């Protein structure tokens, strides 16, 4: 290596690092880089294709039988054309928000399962950690970049849906529908965020990317397939049906089962989305006849629906933060070697 070009090094001032990057700029630099990585990756393209396919499939089905749904006078929600577009179906295919219940975790896991351990395996983590970057900023930047992508994706899809609805039906959208749909999108992003933070946690806890991916998929499968079965079995074993005598006991029993089921994030998500997209849903638990007496089946105002889903939303957020806090705890004092 020649003597000639040492000037490259000394050009400008002395070698003193005159530039002190603060933590927000490094955070943005990492977010920029992570987003570029995601966008360039095949992984995101595949996920995007999958999501777009289900979205347009669901939209096509609901557009096909939107006429019959909207003209159904029995349904108190029939005036909300755009909500119907998202939720109605002919039975052959589940509506989009139910699909999202499955796809959301997949999206979150796919974007986060190798966040830290792949960097460690490639020997880039130690290099990164030798730069003036706070460790928590790294985890935060990783999840932020994935969430920005997911958020953009969901909002794009939803806006496409509204646009298509306007174009095809010519019906103006109600402001309350916009609010409900956007809140639904936010809930969906939070739901993906939970799975993202869980998979980032696994990517810190496990050294191998395959292990962390499997662990995250295992949790997802457990909650979508087995959790309900396990809960029903366990509850039936501990409280036999025969012991239930009164109606109040029955209500209490159902309430309890439902509450245990709500430990699963997918249950929280489906509760929240159902309430938001179907304004006539006024309670998520069992209701007695006395409570129902005198109630006119009519849609709830937006704020009331929001009140109903508030616990669900906070539950999801709390679970997300819990995962995040634990990843932070694991990562902060870990010794990083190449």
Partner 1 sequence: MENPVIDLKGLTKCYGSLKAVDDLNLKVEKGEIFGLLGPNGAGKTTTILMMLGLTEPTSGKALVCGIDATTNPILVKRKVGYMPDSVGFYENMTALENLVYTGKLNGVPGNEAHRRGLDLLDLVGLGDSANKRTSVFSRGMKQRLGLAEVLIKRPEVIILDEPTLGIDPAGVKEFLDLIRQLSREQGLTVLLSSHHLHQVQMVCDRVGIFAAGKMQMEGNIHKLSQALFADDSYSVSITVREPLPASWEHSDGLRNIRDVQGLRITENLVQIACSPDATPDIVRFFVAKGLDVMGVHKREFGLDEIYQKYFDNHLIEHNADEKSRSIFKRYINKK
For position 208 contacting partner 1 by CB under 8 A, the verdict is no
Instruction: State in angstroms the smallest separation of the CB of 39 from partner 1.
Output: 11
Q: What are phi and psi of 286, to 5 degrees?
A: -70, 145
In terms of CB distance, is 48 or 219 closer to partner 1? 48
Residue 114 DSSP symbol: T
In terms of CB distance, is 43 or 67 closer to partner 1? 43
Exposure string over 226-236, b if 16+ CB within 10 A, otherwise e = ebbeebeeebe
Residue 112 near residue 142, CB atoms below 8 Å: yes
User: Which of 131, 156, 259, 298 is the binder for partner 1 (CB under 8 A)?
Assistant: 131
Residues 69-108 as x/- pattern, contact with partner 1 by CB under 8 A: ----------------------------------------
**Best CA proximity match to 109, nearest among 273, 254, 221, 17:** 221
Query: Site residues for partner 1, window 226-265 (CB under 8 A)?
Result: none
For position 123 contacting partner 1 by CB under 8 A, the verdict is yes
Query: Site residues for partner 1, window 276-335 (CB under 8 A)?
Result: 333, 335
User: Which of 43, 67, 127, 207 is the binder for partner 1 (CB under 8 A)?
Assistant: 127
Alpha-carbon gap, residue 160 to 163, rounded angstroms: 5
Residue 194 near residue 313, CB atoms below 8 Å: no
In terms of CB distance, is 126 or 171 closer to partner 1? 126
User: Which of 64, 68, 72, 124 is the binder for partner 1 (CB under 8 A)?
Assistant: 124
Residues 166-205 as x/- pattern, contact with partner 1 by CB under 8 A: ----------------------------------------
Residue 21 DSSP symbol: -
In terms of CB distance, is 20 or 293 closer to partner 1? 20
Apex 153 CA angle, 192 and 110, nearest 5: 45
Alpha-carbon gap, residue 58 to 160, rounded angstroms: 13
**Best CA proximity match to 55, nearest among 161, 127, 139, 130:** 161
Residues 24-53 as x/- pattern, contact with partner 1 by CB under 8 A: -xx--xx--x---x--xx------------
Alpha-carbon gap, residue 309 to 312, rounded angstroms: 5
Instruction: State in angstroms the smallest separation of the CB of 133 from partner 1.
Output: 6
**Best CA proximity match to 161, nearest among 54, 304, 17:** 54
Residues, the chain, total?
338
User: Which of 98, 140, 250, 336 is the binder for partner 1 (CB under 8 A)?
Assistant: 336
| Footprint on this chain of partner 1 (rule: CB under 8 A) | 1, 3, 5-6, 8-11, 14-17, 19-22, 25-26, 29-30, 33, 37, 40-41, 122-124, 126-134, 333, 335-338
């Amino acid at each position: 290596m020649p003597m000639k070009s040492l000037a490259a090094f000394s050009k400008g001032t002395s070698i003193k690092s005159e530039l002190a990057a603060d933590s927000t700029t490094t955070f943005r630099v990492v977010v920029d880089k992570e987003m570029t990585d995601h966008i360039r990756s095949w992984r995101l393209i595949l996920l995007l294709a999958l999501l777009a396919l289900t979205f347009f499939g669901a939209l096509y089905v609901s557009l096909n039988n939107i006429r019959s749904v909207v003209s159904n006078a029995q349904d108190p929600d029939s005036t909300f054309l755009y909500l119907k577009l998202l939720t109605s179906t002919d039975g052959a295919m589940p509506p989009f928000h139910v699909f999202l219940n499955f796809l959301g975790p997949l999206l979150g896991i796919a974007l986060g399962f190798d966040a830290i351990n792949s960097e460690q395996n490639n020997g880039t983590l130690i290099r990164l950690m030798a730069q003036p970057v706070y460790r928590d900023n790294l985890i935060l930047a990783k999840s932020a970049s994935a969430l920005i992508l997911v958020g953009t994706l969901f909002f794009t899809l939803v806006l496409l849906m509204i646009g298509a609805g306007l174009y095809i039906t010519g019906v103006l959208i109600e402001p309350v529908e916009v609010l409900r749909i956007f809140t639904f999108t936010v809930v969906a992003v939070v739901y993906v965020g939970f799975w993202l933070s869980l998979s980032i946690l696994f990517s810190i806890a496990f050294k191998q990317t395959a292990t962390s991916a499997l662990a995250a998929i295992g949790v997802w499968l457990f909650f979508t397939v087995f959790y309900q079965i396990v809960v029903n079995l366990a509850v039936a074993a501990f409280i036999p049906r025969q012991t239930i005598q009164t109606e109040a006991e029955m209500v209490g029993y159902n309430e309890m089962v439902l509450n245990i089921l709500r430990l699963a994030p997918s249950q929280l998500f489906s509760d929240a989305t159902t309430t938001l997209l179907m304004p006539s849903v006024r309670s998520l638990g069992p209701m007695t006849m006395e409570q129902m007496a005198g109630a006119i089946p009519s849609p709830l105002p937006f704020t009331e629906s929001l009140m109903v889903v508030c616990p669900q939303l906070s539950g999801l957020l709390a679970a997300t933060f819990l995962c995040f806090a634990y990843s932070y705890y694991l990562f902060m004092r870990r010794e990083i070697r190449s």
